[in-house]
A and B are shown apart, each in its own frame.
Chain A
Amino acid sequence: MVIFNGPDVVFVLASLLKAMAVAGVVLVMVPGSVTAERRLSAWMQDRRGPNRVGIPFTNIRIFGLGQGLADAMKFLLKEQFVPASVNKLYFNLAPILAMVPALVTVSVIPFAPGFDLRPIATWLATPLHLDGATIQAFRISGVVADLDIGLLFVFAIISLSVYGIVLAGWSSNSKYPFLGGIRSSAQIISYEIAMGASVVPIFLVTQQLNLGKIVEYQVAHGWLALPHLAGGWIGILTGLALSFSFVVFLVASFAETNRLPFDMPEAETELVGGYHTEYSGMRFALFFLGEYAAMVSASAIMVTLFLGGWSLPFPWFNGLPMPDSLYGVALPSFLAGLALPWWFGFISIGVFLGKILVFIGFFIVIRWTLPRFKYDQLMNLGWKVFIPLSFLNIFVVAALVLLKR
């Protein structure tokens, strides 16, 4: 067996494995969050929600967790009706464009500090005839694509998602989808400005574009969304400015993913179904699931940028030794300098997923709490409040960074 030899082979195999695992997790989380949405909304309205469907062909109900599977089967088996008046090419292209960007963005998101598998590789070196360079390559990064322009790549891909909706609205050749498409393009483009402006302070503070490096900065200096106690009044003010960035980014990501209170493109009470009125079967399901996949990836981005990614506030859980002080608070002597074994870093995947789940829960709770904005209110909020405030925020943070020097 010399197939595994060579650092490049190890890199390709590991990347394939990671890509498949990440895509698999996202695709499992999508129907999962649909089911979660139905159950949570039911609980918030004093109902039970779907609790019957369990394991197929048995009477075992696992709290209705099989509902996602049943919904997926239903969508697959439904007729895929294509109206005669549509533009066939773009009509078929639009659902794909709605789903793909959400799946692509997660590829640059670091989900773990990295897996140091060299001990295992050394153990396997004799039976597999591995050489030294190959063993060194078994130090695998915790991200599918370690891009140095990570955040810019994320923004480039996110802005593609508007094409799916606009094409769906236009190619349907029908007035409600058309209105939904117009609204969506206006909404997404205007909130993208606020979103982009709200992450500039992160560049200023961390001086990084690589998402993995941003997470490492947060491991060292504390989460960006939380107010800081360290660094004197400059540090505290910077922390507050970054918290404000987080709020702007959070609201803008609601608008980007077309979730209530900003689900103007769908607005079923005004526009029937909005841009997906003419769609049925699996094509509709792709739009529907694309919305949830966008939710998952938006949560992942927010967690990575502002809430420390895969890390917990305790360096202990990140495989690092505990420092002497945390957020400016001195630690007791029995905790300071304590270290955990290297494999404890694997738990960070669970931490990352847990943070994403909390965010998805937040998306769901917000949806069932707030009513929809009026279109002019949405535009006022975007252009007159968030964009000026986030630009102001950039200047404030820039001044603070200068003062700190």
Chain B
Amino acid sequence: MALILARPELNLWERLYLPSILGGLFITLRHMVETILLRVFPRKRTGPRSLMEMSSTGLMSMQYPEEKWPMPEGYRGAPVLVMDEGGREKCVSCQLCEFICPPRAIRITPGFLPGEDVHANVEKKPRAFDIDMLRCIYCGMCEEVCPEEAIFLKKEEPIFVGTSRQAMVRDKQELYRLGGVMVRPIKKWDGK
């Protein structure tokens, strides 16, 4: 059913057109003045939760590298390796992530833990752990498949700068530096 709406009758003032232009100008100029005032006196805008609320000054645009959007829970950023609270590498180089990785971005070279190590009963740790960030598709399969909770997708958005293919490959040291320490309730290897 088409709904036929009656066209509103315009009076002479409205048909003059110029007053309406002035009204429009007033709106844009008000926004301009508000924005300039917000730059001089930064404050959060009140009102419904919006993008403006997230930026520090209340302006629509964010000064990107200096301030960033808060990432939602479960955001899949770049995969990183984590250690437990004792500084032990949680990865036991089972290579499940390497096998499950759809674009084959992960390459693990397994290595043995020496006998005198405190965690010698874990037996293995990666000798090399490379993730090719040009191949990674941020699917999160590695995180799902890991039996040791050793690899996680970081919440921060991934930013990479590299001038060569080699520079875009993250090695073990870099991955641990980015991942840091993550404390989880299950202490699988404690007391063994």
Contact = CB atoms under 8 A, between A and B. Distances in A.
Contacts of B61: 42, 47-48
A18 B71 CA distance: 58
Interface string A26-54: 00000000000000101111111000000
B28 interface: yes
Secondary structure dominating the interface of B: helix
A48 B38 CA distance: 10
Contacts of A46: 31, 34-35, 52, 59-60
Contacts of A365: 25, 28-29, 32
A57 to B, nearest CB: 19
Interface stretch (A5-13, A325-333, A366-374): A366-374
Contact of B21 (A40, A47, A48, A369): A369
Contacts of A44: 28-29, 31-32, 35
Interface residues of B, number: 18
A306 B62 CA distance: 43
B54 to A, nearest CB: 14
Interface in B38-74: 39, 52, 59-61, 63
Contact of B35 (A43, A247, A366, A370): A43
Contacts of B63: 48
Contacts of A43: 31-32, 35-36
A393 to B, nearest CB: 16
A369 B21 CA distance: 8
Nearest to B57: A48
B24 interface: yes
Interface string A341-374: 0000000000000000000000001101110000
A369 B28 contact: yes
Contacts of A366: 21, 25
Contact of B32 (A40, A48, A247, A370): A40
A369 B24 contact: yes
A370 B60 contact: no
A343 to B, nearest CB: 35
B27 interface: yes
A45 B60 CA distance: 8
Given A46-B52, A48-B59, A369 B31 contact: no
B127 to A, nearest CB: 43
B110 to A, nearest CB: 47
Nearest to B55: A48
A247 to B, nearest CB: 8
A47 B60 contact: yes
A321 to B, nearest CB: 38
Interface of B: 18, 21, 24-25, 27-29, 31-32, 34-36, 39, 52, 59-61, 63
Given A48-B59, A365-B29, A369-B27, 4 more contacts: A43-B35, A43-B36, A45-B31, A369-B21
Interface of A: 40, 42-48, 247, 365-366, 368-370
